[in-house]
Amino acid sequence: MLGANCTSNPPILNGSSGGGYVTNLGGVNCYVTGSPLLIFVILLASDFYGYQAPLLRKLADKVGTKGYHVVVPDFFNGDPFDPNNASRPQDIWLKDHPPEKGIETAKVVVEALKHKGAYAIGAAGFCWGGKPAVDLGNSGHTKVTVLLHPAFVTNNDIERTNISIAILGGQNDTITPPSQIKQYEEILNAKKPEVESLVKIFPGVSHGWTLRYDPNDPEAVKDAEKAHEIMLDWFDKHLKKH
């Protein structure tokens, strides 16, 4: 179970929010935004609220203004986690949507993008999406990874990582706490000195802070935007050099 921290500030899903459009890539519905050119492509792997979360789409649009073609897959095929459904708590929902299976959906989307001529693809994963994001890199589908308050990412996943990776954790995250984030960092430093990596723990923020912040709270917005900037810088430095 992910705990209460994962269900605070659930988004009000809105399939028509954002400046992009929804299209089908290899059989998977995806929100697509940003540059129409598929030179530098970023796949955003959502948390368990899925691809209709307005703040996720807003972030996708922002990434899109920086010259990226941005793709946000519907990993849950129209069935995101619903925190109001008492008869289907997280542990039950997760049985239908195990994070380890996310790679299957992600692979199909990446292959469809490559078929359309995508040149260099990076992936960012949030919470549940951290697992498919790291798996994409470890299976050779993407060139750069960013993990933001990831969940379900094992030390072994990090040990297998051979591509540039940034990991952003929160001081007050109880799901992937700083102690775990530090283990990722130690693994990267000790076993992967040749891999370009950045591990950062943001002070005073909880799990989900980059996506489920209160847009009316200026401090929360600032904390989220700081993480967004670091994610963008990482892609600018490591994806655009390809």
Ligand X SMILES: *[C@@H]1O[C@H](CO)[C@@H](O)[C@H](O)[C@H]1NC(C)=O
Residue 16 interacts with ligand X (CB under 6 A)? Answer: yes
Decide if residue 172 touches ligand X (CB under 6 A).
yes
Cβ 85 to ligand X shortest distance, Å: 4
Among 58, 107, 160, 226, binds ligand X (CB under 6 A): 160
Minimal distance, residue 172 CB to ligand X, in Å: 4
Site for ligand X contains 82 (CB under 6 A): yes
DSSP 8-state code for residue 176: S
Which of 176, 173, 239, 37 shows the shortest CA–CA distance to 118?
Answer: 37
Count other Cβ atoms within 10 Å, centred on residue 174.
13
Q: In angstroms, what is the minimal distance from the CB of 17 to ligand X? A: 4
Rule CB under 6 A: is residue 191 a binding residue for ligand X?
no
CB closer to ligand X out of 15 and 26: 15
Report, in Å, the least distance between residue 93 CB and ligand X.
8
The answer to whether 8 touches 208, Cβ cutoff 8 Å, is yes
- φ/ψ region of 138 (left if φ > 0, alpha if ψ in -120 to 50, else beta) reads alpha
Angle between helices 218-238 and 54-64 (to 10 degrees): 40
Q: What is the crossing angle of helices 102-115 and 130-138, to 10°?
A: 60
CB of residue 28 vs ligand X: minimum separation in angstroms?
A: 22
Q: Does 8 bind ligand X (CB under 6 A)?
A: no
Token digits for 34?
Answer: 């940003």
Binding site for ligand X (CB under 6 A): 14, 16-17, 82, 85, 87-88, 138, 160, 162, 171-172, 204
